[in-house]
Amino acid sequence: MTVYLNGQFMPIEEARVPVLDRGFIFGDGVYEVIPVYSRRAFRLAEHLQRLQHSLDGIRLPNPHSEPEWTRLINALIAGNDGEDQYLYLHITRGVARRDHAFPNPPVAPTVFMMSSPLTTPPTALLHSGVSAVSAPDNRWLRCDIKAIALLPNVLLRQMAVDAGAAETILIRDNDFMTEGAASNIFVVKSGTLLAPPKDNLMLPGITYDVVLELAAANNIPYQVRRVAKEEVFDADELLLTSSTKEVLAITTLDGKPVGDGKPGAMFTRMYTLYQDYKRDVMRKKQD
Ligand code: PDD
């Protein structure tokens, strides 16, 4: 496995970061996860835009231009096995004496990238759907930043695992749904897809965007608006999306069936559209 660290490609065993790296000490950094289909990075421009948004959010200058990122990312893909991969990009504020304030003068950021095999959910899970639990969203107010400081998400996701479930659906202020601990969530009611707005309280998912674009292009009714907690518990269907999980049906919530407890018509439609989109747009031969 070849990884990239601060200007060099190397085997992962050789990649070393000093203990005073602010990512290690403070979680002071941001990241991206990018799926690769047929050796092509999925929606690379959109992922790099979101990375820029995250870097702006933590006031860290972008260490690379878009063409540089593209070149490095393509080299990383070429240096690893597998037609389908997922890339992890990680940028921290660099190595400095421990002080909460930014290093002054600034130090070079740490840039790390790795590739892993992309294993999308197995067929059995697509047919059964997954279970979820709900929990209060106790994260900060900048969930739009893809920050490496993920302790709240880690604890929230572990609640699901402890309950034998796949994901935790987060409810803000005992009032409305934001997203999952590591995914975006859609509610389906009476044939309409309900999506929370991309504000500071959720990560603007790249898969979320694809789902809404596919809905618009295929005359599937959808609304982007706050989704009340009651609507989540009264949903006909719940869908989960992320780069690595793609589109999954949530068929149980807090131990109770969602709708009739089986993946519904909206899931089947959206899953098919997503796979068609991958096949037609991503896997098409390039000239
Ligand atoms: N997580 N919301 C949160 C909190 C996430 O961590 C993720 C993805 C998403 C979905 O975003 P996208 O569709 O762009 O993957 C929403 C990634 C996969 C991770 O942390 O591994």
pLDDT averaged over every residue in the chain: 97
Indicate the length of the chain as a whole number: 287
Report how far residue 172's alpha carbon sits from residue 141's, in angstroms, rounded to the nearest whole number.
11
Radius of gyration of the chain (CA): 19
Q: Which residues line ligand 1 (CB under 6 A)?
A: 33, 153, 179, 182-184, 203, 205-208, 241-244
Mean per-residue pLDDT for 172-191? 98
Check: pTM over 0.95? Answer yes or no.
Answer: yes
Work out the pLDDT band at 135, boundaries 50, 70, 90: very high
Q: Which amino acid is at 219?
A: N
Q: Could you tell me the distance, in angstroms and rounded to a whole number, from the CA of residue 191 to the centre of ligand 1?
A: 25
DSSP 138: -
pLDDT per residue over 1-44, tens digit each?
899 999 999 999 999 999 999 999 999 999 999 999 999 999 99
Q: In DSSP terms, which residues pair with 39 in a beta bridge?
A: none
Work out the pLDDT band at 283, boundaries 50, 70, 90: confident
Query: Best of 32, 142, 151, 242 to mutate for ligand 1, by most ligand atoms within 8 A of CB?
Result: 242
Spell out a b/e string for 36-63, using b for 16 or more CB atoms within 10 Å of the CB, else e.
Answer: bbeebbbbbeebbebbeebbeebebebb
**Dmax over Cα atoms in the chain, in whole Å?**
59
Tell me which residue has its CA closest to atom 2 in ligand 1: 183
In percent, how much of the chain has pLDDT > 90? 96
Atom of ligand 1 nearest to the CA of 209: 13
pLDDT per residue over 209-256, tens digit each?
999 999 999 999 999 999 999 999 999 999 999 999 999 999 999 999
Asked if residues 194 and 187 have their Cβ atoms less than 8 Å apart, the reply is yes
Atom of ligand 1 nearest to the CA of 244: 18
Atom of ligand 1 nearest to the CA of 206: 14
pLDDT of residue 1: 86
